Structure 1
Amino acid sequence: MRHSNASRKRICERHLQLLTELSRALGEKDRYTQAHGYRVARYAMRLATRLGFGHREVWDVGIGGLFHDVGKLALSDQIFTNRETRLPAELKREVRCHPLIGAALLKDIDYLEPVVDLVLFHHEREDGKGYPFGLTGREIPPGAKIISISDCFDAVTTDRPYQKRKSIRAAFEILRNGCRRYFCEDYVETFIEEIEENGIELENGTDPLLADELIRSATAGAGTM
């Protein structure tokens, strides 16, 4: 069924409002998680660009990175206040649901279909021991692999309640040690080259201009469908 231009515009505006509210709600739930999403988005877009991805694919990984943890909106507050390195089994099972929840929150926005898969699969592993489905290397979308690397790097180079940041060199070693088990080796080496040449993302807060740019690009693209 085709919609008129006015109808598409109204739909896009509703989706714009929904995505903006999701981003805001995540910040109210946990400020670190929101800021982490902005940095992961930027790292993911940088890596995708360096790998030669097209403009739409770069945009997809940006939105996917921005909202990769949006499913954590449904998690208990205990998880955000936890200061232990290892979560109890019950909380660990709850955390492993966040890709499924995040994908469910985004799935009804038709023009975000590629992004839904990136959110859903960003914790899958090359060796098939990830979650939620245990996919192996070739089954995992390239964009999800990019977000996984970006996610890991930012997580270990920033302070969290249960873990102090590690040095950039230590983070590179973690990524390299994870190749063929967690991460795509070629992507890891390209990511490291990008960081060595252009540095890390600043930690201080969020970047609302990035979110606005990505979300409005999404709705503008949808308006032409």
Structure 2
Amino acid sequence: MRSDEQVSNEARERHLQTLGEISAALEKKDLYTQAHGHRVALYSMRLARRLGFSAEEIRNVGIGGLFHDVGKLAMSDHILATRETQLSNELKQEVQCHPLIGAALLKNIAFLGPVVDFVLFHHEREDGKGYPFGLNSAEIPPGAKIVSIADCFDAVTTDRPYHKGQPAAAAYAVLREGCHGNFNAIFVEVFIQEIEEGGMIQDIDPDPLLADELVRSIAGCSHQVF
């Protein structure tokens, strides 16, 4: 007869396998989105650490950054490959569903806890004009606010089908302008200080070891502190 610990370990390994399969599916669907998720994870953890978050909170934020765009698995290939900056209303609605889809893919993985909310709310705004729910500032978890900033910075500074990557200074301007309604102003200034002192992430390729170590750490399989 198997012990409760054996059953728990087996369940955890199944969840880890599920996350690995999700990550592999995202890589197959769109390599940029997977690499973007890795960079957002690293930027998010750096900001969380500088803000004084605990080791557990830093790992949670990292997982949220890693999988923040996982809902794009359900998006059409046309959206991922488009060079158009203006999407039709129909395509905009499809894009705005990706936080909901991402949260649905992750919600049954018990050890993720608050990570699901970071994925679900990373496009909410300080002024209540974000999506999918139009939450106000007080309703948005700090981890989601961090992922949102890291997401924006990486999107501005890397090449995408519809624009060339811009220097850090251009991204700073975008983030500071976003403080008028989108981003938490204190978090933005701390993030800019972190980038000025620690530099940008130059390696654009996703690191499978990061994903595995980060996920296993949050699942209690590792004691590594990021």
Shared topology, TM-score over 0.5?
yes
Match of 1:220, SS state, is: coil
2:56 matched to which residue of 1? 56
Deviation at 1:203, TM superposition (A): 3.9
Distance 2:130 2:83 in 1: 23
Give per-residue Cα distances to partners, 1:34-56, cap 9 Å, x unaligned. 00000000000000000000011
Give per-residue Cα distances to partners, 1:58-94, cap 9 Å, x unaligned. 0000000000000000111111111111111111100
The yes-or-no answer on 1:107 pairing with 2:107 is yes
The yes-or-no answer on 1:84 pairing with 2:84 is yes
Q: Where do residues 1-225 of structure 1 align in structure 2 (5 Å cutoff)?
A: 4-220=4-220
Contact conserved, 1:15 with 1:219, CA < 8 A, in 2? Answer: no
Return the letter of the residue paired with 2:183.
F
Return the letter of the residue paired with 2:43.
Y
Give per-residue Cα distances to partners, 1:180-207, cap 9 Å, x unaligned. 4000000000000000001011243111
CA RMSD of aligned residues (A): 1.2
Distance 1:36 1:192 in 2: 19
Deviation at 1:215, TM superposition (A): 1.2
Distance 2:204 2:155 in 1: 14
Distance 1:86 1:167 in 2: 23
Match of 2:160, SS state, is: coil
Unaligned runs of 5+ in 1: none
Give per-residue Cα distances to partners, 1:18-46, cap 9 Å, x unaligned. 00111111000000000000000000000
TM-score, with normalisation over the residues of structure 2?
A: 0.95
Contact conserved, 2:75 with 2:95, CA < 8 A, in 1? Answer: yes
Distance 1:72 1:108 in 2: 18
Return the letter of the residue paired with 1:127.
D
Deviation at 1:113, TM superposition (A): 1.9
TM-score, with normalisation over the residues of structure 1?
A: 0.95
Contact conserved, 2:56 with 2:218, CA < 8 A, in 1? Answer: no
Give per-residue Cα distances to partners, 1:96-144, cap 9 Å, x unaligned. 0000000000000111120000000000000000000000111100000
Distance 1:78 1:179 in 2: 31
Q: 1:221 and 1:137, CA in 2 relative to 1: closer, same or farther beyond 3 A?
A: farther
Return the letter of the residue paired with 1:5.
E
Return the letter of the residue paired with 2:198.
N
Larger mean CA deviation between 35-44 and 166-175 belongs to 166-175
Match of 2:39, SS state, is: helix
Q: 1:212 and 1:221, CA in 2 relative to 1: closer, same or farther beyond 3 A?
A: closer
Larger mean CA deviation between 130-139 and 200-209 belongs to 200-209
Q: Give the number of aligned pairs.
A: 220
Deviation at 1:221, TM superposition (A): 5.9
Distance 1:62 1:11 in 2: 22
Return the letter of the residue paired with 1:111.
F
Distance 2:203 2:86 in 1: 24
Distance 1:203 1:83 in 2: 24
Distance 1:81 1:111 in 2: 33
Distance 2:146 2:180 in 1: 14
Match of 1:132, SS state, is: coil
